Chain A
């Protein structure tokens, strides 16, 4: 039996967006045990919400996550609206859907680039992030910001769509659709990608259920749950999602699900634009929210977001509890890592699309028996990972991207 070495990774990671610590025990090159540690970025926002009014809380909630800001504010708003017994105008519900799907587009394109980067396929990073910029431009046009768009308010939305904006959205959707067709072809036909991602970070259907996986991670293990379909909210009762599932149960499946979901989001945005109802943007909301409790959920790009709000009849909530999708997906992470190579660690972690905040990255290699210690940073681990697979004959840096016409 090879000597076992324990490697703490993190908690500081400059390229990821939230600090987390992975203590990984190796036997040779294989991960035999993994412990995930989180909590380094707990901001106490739930306590902060209790001492502020509902409308003030909305600004805090929108900042739970920089990528999924709209889905969090939607979950919060619809919870408060349900407590108040207020139905928002249909036009507002459709605009919330359009923003939510645009958010999914930019999040999945972001992920695609990160996944490419982690395996050394930086050309894909450049292309997908270039495409993502077009989506961010649209989000900035609609909300005024690239992130934290501030579209949602209690009772509806703050900004309307003009015909010019809608035309611009359609133009960008055409562009993203063409680009994404190519990414799908690449994901499904490029043998280096398949060899690099297939069978890595396995999470069986039963384990996905056991560990409570959500979103693309669950759907790539053939769990068809998508909150937009199983518990329709805002306008998802009229704009129907076609949940994408895959039965690879690995990182490859998670990639396939996300690129196919991009196509479904494009379809849904077009459908919402085609059928955007006329009418008001907001319904009148009471300042004081009647006593009660609501469990609200939305389908973020990363999976199910849940918000629990307990009201006490005042202007301030008695309790706000937020559980983001990443929190649900961490539970199965140790299981996904165990049995794979150290070289697979970066892409397995990236494949759940974890939500982090950036500070630093450090890896400490410790041999508990010999007391030897080695310091690596995340880039060195990534480099190790790429070189490891080059030696096996899988070099993602050599993948050629076809020349494509750029639609401006």
Chain B
């Protein structure tokens, strides 16, 4: 796995802080721990501009509880698929589009907007994808808290049950 080692060493040499956070899974597969946006952008720029990762396969959204995760799959001329990740808080899931580097990221990023509620800055304008027109705002189906059983597809409304009343012991003490 010399080619994978070369990629690993190149990343660590450039970003020593990533030592132990980049892993060779097997031949032609490498993965990286999620990075905050600013760090991710530096690493992604290095990989695509200097590291030889010129092929973009897709970006995958994941729900990590309080954060949203974004897994970018890119590969180089040795056909090593590297999973580069960034995370953003669910309260403000702001990431930057990579369409200026990889035009084929467009629909994948639109999908992050529709299905995860990501805010993708510099995303080229165009129709939404893949949810239908009239989909209720603020409903992001691939977030874990969104339950399909509460969605009425006839009226296109999301109707979760009311939050349970706090137990008597949790009631604030009346003054």
Contact = CB atoms under 8 A, between A and B. Distances in A.
Interface string A316-345: 001101010001101110000000000000
Interface in B91-134: 102-104, 106-108, 126-132
A39 B83 contact: no
B81 A295 contact: yes
Contact of B71 (A231, A308, A318): A308
B35 interface: no
- Determine the main DSSP class of A at the interface with B: mixed
A331 B106 contact: yes
Given A210-B103, A295-B73, A308-B71, A321 B54 contact: no
Contacts of A40: 132
A230 B27 CA distance: 11
Interface in A288-332: 293-295, 297, 304, 306, 308, 310, 318-319, 321, 323, 327-328, 330-332
A208 to B, nearest CB: 11
B103 A308 contact: no
B79 A230 contact: yes
Contact of B107 (A38, A47, A51, A304): A38
B73 A331 contact: no
A323 B57 contact: yes
A212 B56 contact: yes
A306 B54 contact: no
Interface string A22-35: 00000000000001
B22 to A, nearest CB: 14
B43 to A, nearest CB: 18
B107 A331 contact: yes
Scoring B55, B103, B104 by chain A CB atoms within 10 A of each residue's CB, the highest score goes to: B104
A218 B58 CA distance: 17
Contacts of A293: 31, 71, 83
Nearest to B114: A39
Nearest to A39: B130
B130 A38 contact: yes
Interface residues of B, number: 34
Contact of A331 (B25, B31, B63, B104): B104
A314 B132 CA distance: 32
Interface string B11-50: 0000000000000011011010000000000000000000
B10 interface: no
Where chain B touches its partner, the secondary structure class is mixed
A294 B30 CA distance: 10
A319 B62 contact: yes
B107 A321 contact: no
A394 to B, nearest CB: 33
B79 A47 contact: no
Given A38-B130, A295-B29, A310 B62 contact: yes
A307 to B, nearest CB: 10
A54 B89 CA distance: 29
Given A37-B127, A321-B60, A209 B54 contact: yes
Contacts of A331: 103-104, 106-107
Given A295-B73, A327-B107, A35 B28 contact: no
Contacts of A35: 126-127
A175 interface: no
Contacts of A319: 60, 62-63
Contact of A212 (B26, B28, B104, B131): B104
Nearest to A231: B28
A330 B130 CA distance: 14
Contact of A308 (B28, B73, B106): B73
Nearest to A331: B104
12 contacts: A37-B127, A37-B129, A44-B148, A47-B141, A47-B148, A209-B54, A210-B103, A231-B79, A297-B81, A308-B58, A308-B73, A319-B63
Given A39-B132, A306-B58, 7 more contacts: A37-B129, A38-B130, A40-B132, A82-B26, A231-B28, A294-B25, A332-B104
Interface of A: 35, 37-40, 42, 44, 46-48, 51, 82, 209-212, 225, 230-231, 293-295, 297, 304, 306, 308, 310, 318-319, 321, 323, 327-328, 330-332
